[in-house]
Amino acid sequence: LKPLGRPTHLSWEDYLAPEDLKRDLQSIPVRLDPEFRERLAQSREKMWNDPSGYAPGIPIVLFHGPPGTGKTFAMKVLAAQAGLQSWTL
pLDDT digits (tens, 9 = 90+) for 6-56: 777 888 899 988 999 898 888 887 777 677 767 777 776 666 666 666 555
d(CA 4, CA 87): 6
- The residue ranking higher by pLDDT, 61 or 45, is 61
| Mean pLDDT for the stretch of residues 62-76 | 89
Number of Cβ within 10 Å of residue 77's Cβ equals: 23
C-alpha span between 52 and 75 (Å, rounded): 20
pLDDT at 81: 82
Quick one: pLDDT at residue 1? 75
Mean pLDDT of 81-85: 78
